[in-house]
Each structure stands twice: as structure tokens, then as C-alpha cells.
Amino acid sequence: MVNTSKDPVVGNEQKAGAFWQRIAAYFAASPKVARGETRSVIQCKQRWQKMKDLVSKFCGTYAAATRQRTSGQSEDDTRKCDDGAQSESSQATSNLGDEPTNRPPGVKAAKRASGKRSIADHLSASEFQTMWSIKERDLAAKERLSKMSLLDRLIAKKDSLTEYEEALNNKLISDMLG
């Protein structure tokens, strides 16, 4: 695209149809394209439109994230947000200077902690608990199916089982029955 649009001979003195024909020819001539694979002018134009939309969304998101950087931060700086923990920049050091201590909570955080949570918070917590219990049951069922599959393979084995396989077989049988 760049090679075709910045051609010093043709420049921007070309019609849209001629431009997209040059793009399709450039694509077909690329060594990275599999032999016999071609794209029509329309396909090239549609593919570019999809990519252009995604790139525009990415650029907008990147610009918004860049605007949120605080003074003195660079692109290499990262913030630690594990489980609501304070970031390194929001930690003060103790008098000894050896370990950081967390800053005291702000006014809004103190109000939230004092029990002024909305009903929606409690509902979402109960919904999460319900989803979590369903997920736990699903994981237990998947683990049981995996054990059953392994036991089936051991039972179906035509050769004699090794000592390890025999022990595993006995353990799986006792787990299934107990």
C-alpha cells in the first residue's frame, strides 16, 4: 500500500480504480503470497477497509491511554494493579527506607469501606458466587471424565501393565468407587 501510494512517478495523480488495480497487482507479485492465490480489486479494497477500521480503533485507544499517563511517566512505566493493591508510585517508604507501606485510603474509599455499599454490589457478589459454584462443579466433572478416560485406556491396553500403570489403575478405580 505504501509503495503504491508513494510512487514518485504517478504520485496522487491517479483515479481510485487505477490505484486499487495497482494494489491488487502488487499483492499478486508479492513473494509471500502462495502460488495461485489472487485477490481481486474489490477484495483488496474490502480487506483494507477492515484493517483501516481496526487500526483506527487501536489508534484511538492508544491515544486515550497515552492521555491518561501522569506527568513524568513514560511508555515503559507500568502500574501494578493486582487485587486492588497500591501501585509502586502510590506507596510511601517507612522511616527505615527498607519496605514500602501502603498509603491511607482516600475519602471515597473510606466511605465505601464503612458499609455504604449499594444493593447492586451485594447482588453482583451473589451472582458471582453462583457462577463460581457452577464453574467448580463443571471443573470437577471434567476432572472425573479425564480420570475415567485414563482408566479406560489402561483397561483397554493389550500389553501387561507396568508397575506404575498398575498402581495408577488401582488408584483410579478406588477414586471412582470411593
- For the chain, give every domain's residue range: 2-67, 121-177
Q: pTM for this structure? A: 0.33
| Alpha-carbon gap, residue 145 to 39, rounded angstroms | 46
| Alpha-carbon gap, residue 148 to 175, rounded angstroms | 10
Q: How many beta carbons lie within 10 A of that of residue 46, not counting itself?
A: 12
**pLDDT computed for residue 49 by the predictor:** 92
pLDDT means over runs of 10, the chain (178 residues): 60 79 85 77 90 92 83 66 46 52 77 64 80 92 90 87 89 85
CB 23 within 8 A of CB 2: no
**pLDDT computed for residue 79 by the predictor:** 53
Q: Please return the burial class of 146, using the count of CB atoms within 10 Å of its CB with bins 0-12, 13-18 and 19+.
A: exposed
Beta bridge partners of 92: 101
**pLDDT computed for residue 117 by the predictor:** 57
CB 33 within 8 A of CB 27: yes
Beta bridge partners of 32: none
Residue type, 155: I
